[in-house]
Amino acid sequence: MILKNKIILLIIGFFFISLSGCYSFTGISLNPDIKTIEIKSFPNYSAYQSPNLSVDFTTALQSRFNQRTRLVETNIDPDLILEGEITNFFITPVNIQSNSDEATQNRLTISVSVRYENKKQPDKSFEKTFSDYEDYSSKELLINVQDDLAQKINQRIIDQIFLAIVADW
């Protein structure tokens, strides 16, 4: 019985080792011919003008590609072009109490329109809107929590954009 368990564990171990040779755990599936990317500034065209939103979003998006890919940023004939704008930054009440008609929480939602051009594989190019939100206590003033909330939301939107491009999702 013990020998049988050891053999099963050994087989499972070999299985996982063999999988690691044919699958990249990073999930990146960019064509090896793609070497350069241009990430243009994402201006804030939403009705609410948060002063740092555009710069913070663009910088975080550039950092993601610099840290997790081998792509070199350039604005001279890049293989990939990533551009767009922040289209929405809005608050909606959530968790409304039935006995008082007051919200106990608010929801900050950010939407970003993205145009992605892949010059090496034009069929992979797209134009999409990515959106995410974060809830916060209605007792808090937006001005006091917006930087922290926007950073969290931006990271999740950047995750969505990154996966759509490098994992072809």
Of 39, 65, 43, which Cα lies nearest the Cα of 53?
43
In the chain, where the domains are located: 30-166
72-86: average pLDDT: 96
Q: Return the CATH number of the domain spanning residue range 30-166.
A: 3.30.160.150
Question: What percent of the chain has pLDDT above 70?
Answer: 79
Identify residue 43 by its one-letter amino acid code: P
Q: Cβ contacts of residue 103 below 8 Å, gap of 6+? A: 93, 94, 95, 96, 97, 138
pLDDT in the model for residue 142: 87
- pLDDT tens sequence across 146-166: 999 999 999 999 999 999 999
- 20: its two tokens: 């690691």
Which of 34-43, 76-85, 137-146 has the weakest average pLDDT? 137-146
pTM comes to 0.79
Q: What is the DSSP letter of 33?
A: T
pLDDT class for 21, splitting at 50, 70, 90?
very low
- pLDDT tens sequence across 35-78: 999 999 999 999 888 889 999 999 999 999 999 999 999 999 99
pLDDT class for 18, splitting at 50, 70, 90?
very low
**What dihedral angle (degrees, nearest 10) is formed by the CA atoms of 110, 157, 151, 113?**
-50
